[in-house]
């Protein structure tokens, strides 16, 4: 049978067995097949449509295609498993990133609080340091005055020795003032 008639006959069969074909269309498609095939058995039409491939070669080809199909399905399954594994790792990385982000935010808040406390400490230190400087200056000035006062001799009136006072009293005169040499060694006794 020529190729064009063969294709027309197969097309008529396809239309006849299609699930959306109406009953009157099925009858028309079968009648079209019969006219086109003109008493050629269906088996022969199938062999001719298959290009004259022998049953064994056709079966081998089917098995090869089935193996390729199985290999492709396995690759597809492996790719899907890899995708799922990668997706799980991605979700875990996102979760960890969120945790780290929270920890980082908390650390930034702690650092800000520490910087605030440091600034307050520096201010307090500056005030205390300034106050201590003034006190230190006042103390140094007082120390310098005390040292200067210690270098000046102290002239306190010294009471004359008792013997001189007794002699003056017996004579009826005023006792003579004591000199600086007798001021410390001969301190008078007073009642």
Give tens-digit pLDDT for 122-176: 888 888 888 888 888 888 888 888 888 787 766 665 565 777 778 888 888 776 6
Q: Is residue 86 part of a domain?
A: no
Structure confidence at residue 37 (pLDDT): 85
% of the chain exceeding 90 in pLDDT: 29
- In contact, 33 and 19? CB cutoff 8 Å: no
Structure confidence at residue 163 (pLDDT): 79
* Residue range of the domain that includes 25: 1-52
Mean pLDDT (the chain, rounded): 82
Q: Residues 6 or more apart from 162 whose CB is under 8 A from it?
A: 188, 189
Q: Which of 2, 7, 26 is nearest to 16 (CA)?
A: 26
Q: Is residue 22 part of a domain?
A: yes
Give tens-digit pLDDT for 94-134: 999 999 999 999 999 999 999 999 999 988 888 888 888 88
Number of domains in the chain: 1
């Amino acid at each position: 049978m020529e190729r064009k008639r063969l294709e027309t006959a197969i097309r008529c069969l396809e239309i006849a067995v299609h699930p959306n074909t109406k009953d009157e269309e099925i009858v028309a498609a079968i009648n079209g097949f019969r006219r086109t095939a003109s008493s050629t058995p269906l088996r022969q039409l199938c062999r001719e449509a298959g290009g004259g491939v022998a049953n064994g070669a056709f079966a081998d080809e089917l098995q090869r295609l089935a193996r390729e199909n199985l290999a492709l399905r396995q690759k597809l399954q492996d790719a899907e498993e890899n995708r799922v594994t990668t997706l799980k790792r991605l979700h875990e990385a996102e979760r960890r990133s969120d945790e780290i982000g929270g920890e980082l935010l908390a650390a930034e808040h702690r650092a800000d609080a520490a910087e605030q406390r440091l600034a307050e400490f520096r201010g307090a230190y500056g005030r205390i340091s300034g106050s201590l400087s003034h006190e230190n200056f006042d103390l140094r000035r007082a120390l310098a005055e005390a040292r200067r006062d210690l270098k000046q001799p102290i002239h306190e009136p010294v009471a004359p020795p008792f013997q001189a006072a007794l002699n003056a009293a017996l004579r009826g005169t005023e006792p003579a003032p004591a000199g600086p040499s007798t001021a410390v060694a001969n301190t008078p006794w007073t009642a």
